[in-house]
Structure 1
Amino acid sequence: MGEMNDKVKAGHRKTWALGDYPALATDVIPELGRVIVQASGVTSGDRVLDIAAGSGNAAINAALTGADVVASDLTPELLEAGREEAARRGAHLEWREADAEALPFGDGEFDVVLSCVGIMFAPHHQAAADELIRVCRPGGTISLLNWTPEGFIGQMFAAMRPYAPPPPPGAQPPPLWGDPGHVQNLLGDRVTDITIERRMLHVDAFGKPEDFREYFKAYYGPTIATYRHIAEEPEKVLALDQALTTLAQNHTQSTSPYTLNWEYLLLTARRTSN
């Protein structure tokens, strides 16, 4: 079982090292880091953990408030990009390679535990949820921002699923973290004062639907891995090309400038004392 899990984690690291996710985070979704930091109420002096931080979209914004921040992620290439971005922006924080399902931190070590479209990609949802609660102090804040199943990115994963490599045993679809009922079941009675809000990110980084498709084929690890899986089957490549183009057409808000609507779920809660 341990050897299988090691292979799963190695595959996960490899996927997210493909392409250039840090560029995507900076060019396409920079707003989300600011949104979750504001929602979680991070202030100077707070001890903050960003789980599956990637290149630090949220963690860097948290550090700029004066908080004591640890950015953790399974993929060292993303952490290195984050260090460079933090230096450029004058943010001081700690970067730790860590598995969201087995965090190397003590019980109740953090005042605020957050994750911005990150923890959703840990394959075993309950294990990741148990860890994020464990490391948050009683009375501390938990804040999660995840793509919804019904929204653009959730539907993108649904479109890619028939063409993607099979998921590891026991893995659950990432967009379930954007389903309110699913997340509340994961957290259970270990949190209180839950606030849940669906919001829309308006993305104007692309000129037309095909531009989105080609950008994700070049920059986004899961999309790159999916196309590599079907590289020897040109008819499947064409079918996935069309599916992603149609997806973008169906989520177009405006054509001047060309703008896509991407729905996400923002959840904040307080860790109970039990």
Structure 2
Amino acid sequence: MSSTSAITASDADRELKAKHRSMWASGDYPTLAADLIWSLGPRLVAAAGVHDGDRVLDIAAGSGNAAIPAAERGAAVVASDLAPELFAVGRRNATEAGVSLEWREADAEDLPFEDAAFDAAISCVGIMFAPHHETAASELLRVVRPGGRIGLLSWTPEGFIGRMFGVMKPFAPPLPEGATPAPRWGDEAHVRALLGDEVDDVVAVRETVAITRFASGAEFRDYFKSHYGPTIAVYRRIADDADAVRALDDALAALGDEQLAGDASRTLEWEYLLVTATRR
């Protein structure tokens, strides 16, 4: 095995990654993460068994909702992401938390790190959005030392966010050749196949995070239209088609209302798959 990744990107792949970077830099993902899912970072870090003295890589770290809790446990953390535009908020959050991290622009499918460089690699609803799952999984495995730990938290296909992507699919461009839908990382069989015989002690559990911010499906929809890169990108694609915009507006609001209507506390339960494993 070579000391660093030797993946050579095609022009089409570079164009795809540029689109992904632009998508995640649009809107305000750091605020969304802080408002809605910040608790998932500490949950993942605890499950992965991160402790003092570990060298930890957070893949697709965004603004650090897993990287910062890992640093608070005394780990030496590298927070990597394809969209470094997210790092400014992350650095402020880390400073407020009193911890220091390394922030590194990096493609999950071509990580700029040595083989076996980390005691643990984690990703909180991040690596799942790398389009080529097998390549991303291979890179994840490559940078973790034998006996090191892996922790992955991903939205499930059947859960609320997975269903949201299903609602947006008819309005989104087709996936590029060789790409896999992001919510497949929330399917246990798919993740086990990706990690294969490179890991031991695989544990996979489905859990939910309770979202109480939204009083209606329309409020949920409008928040995602202004904050969440993938939703923003779909709306930009159909901006000149008023009928399509109206149809997507109605579908997203209906998705939120469907779950809110069945809960007197007006809570959205967003399901995720949490996978931990040990590098063989």
Q: Shorter-chain TM-score category?
A: over 0.9
Paired with 1:81 and 1:172, the residues of 2 have a C-alpha distance of 30
- Please report how far the alpha carbon of residue 97 of structure 1 lies from its aligned counterpart in structure 2 after TM superposition: 0.2
The residue that corresponds to 1:172 in the other structure is 180
Identity %: 58
**Letter of the aligned partner of 1:86 in structure 2?**
A
**Is 1:63 paired with 2:71?**
yes
The residue that corresponds to 1:208 in the other structure is 216
- Please report how far the alpha carbon of residue 167 of structure 1 lies from its aligned counterpart in structure 2 after TM superposition: 2.5
The residue that corresponds to 2:83 in the other structure is 75
- Please report how far the alpha carbon of residue 80 of structure 1 lies from its aligned counterpart in structure 2 after TM superposition: 2.0
- Please report how far the alpha carbon of residue 254 of structure 1 lies from its aligned counterpart in structure 2 after TM superposition: 6.0
- Please report how far the alpha carbon of residue 28 of structure 1 lies from its aligned counterpart in structure 2 after TM superposition: 0.7
**Is 1:152 paired with 2:142?**
no
2:57 to 46, 49, 62: 49
1:183 to 168, 188, 191: 191
Paired with 1:255 and 1:102, the residues of 2 have a C-alpha distance of 43
**Is 1:131 paired with 2:139?**
yes
- Please report how far the alpha carbon of residue 237 of structure 1 lies from its aligned counterpart in structure 2 after TM superposition: 0.8
- Asked if the contact 1:197–1:267 (Cα under 8 Å) also holds between the matched residues in 2, the reply is yes
- Asked if the contact 1:141–1:270 (Cα under 8 Å) also holds between the matched residues in 2, the reply is yes
Give SS of 2:90's match. Answer: helix
Paired with 2:152 and 2:258, the residues of 1 have a C-alpha distance of 26
The residue that corresponds to 2:3 in the other structure is none
- Asked if the contact 2:128–2:182 (Cα under 8 Å) also holds between the matched residues in 1, the reply is yes
**Letter of the aligned partner of 2:168 in structure 1?**
M
What's the TM-score, normalizing by structure 1?
Answer: 0.97
The residue that corresponds to 1:15 in the other structure is 23
2:108 to 80, 100, 106: 100
- Asked if the contact 2:79–2:104 (Cα under 8 Å) also holds between the matched residues in 1, the reply is yes
Paired with 1:207 and 1:250, the residues of 2 have a C-alpha distance of 12
**Letter of the aligned partner of 1:268 in structure 2?**
T
The residue that corresponds to 2:5 in the other structure is none
Deviations 1:112-146 (A, max 9, x none): 10000000000000000000000000011000000
Deviations 1:87-107 (A, max 9, x none): 122121100000000000011
**Letter of the aligned partner of 2:29 in structure 1?**
Y
Deviations 1:225-249 (A, max 9, x none): 1011111111111111111111112
The residue that corresponds to 2:230 in the other structure is 222
Q: CA RMSD in A?
A: 1.1
- Asked if the contact 1:253–1:260 (Cα under 8 Å) also holds between the matched residues in 2, the reply is no
- Asked if the contact 2:150–2:276 (Cα under 8 Å) also holds between the matched residues in 1, the reply is yes
Paired with 2:255 and 2:62, the residues of 1 have a C-alpha distance of 25
**Is 1:90 paired with 2:106?**
no
- Please report how far the alpha carbon of residue 29 of structure 1 lies from its aligned counterpart in structure 2 after TM superposition: 0.6
* Bigger shift: residues 73-82 or 114-123: 73-82
Matches within 5 A, 1:222-261: 222-252=230-260, 255-261=263-269
Structure 1 unaligned residues grouped into runs of 5+: none
**Is 1:111 paired with 2:119?**
yes
- Please report how far the alpha carbon of residue 256 of structure 1 lies from its aligned counterpart in structure 2 after TM superposition: 4.7
- Please report how far the alpha carbon of residue 164 of structure 1 lies from its aligned counterpart in structure 2 after TM superposition: 1.1
The residue that corresponds to 2:47 in the other structure is 39
- Asked if the contact 1:129–1:186 (Cα under 8 Å) also holds between the matched residues in 2, the reply is yes
Give SS of 1:142's match. Answer: strand
Give SS of 1:258's match. Answer: coil
Rate the CA distance shift 1:102–1:234 in 2: closer, same or farther, 3 A.
same
**Letter of the aligned partner of 1:232 in structure 2?**
D
Deviations 1:26-63 (A, max 9, x none): 00111100110110111110010000001101000100
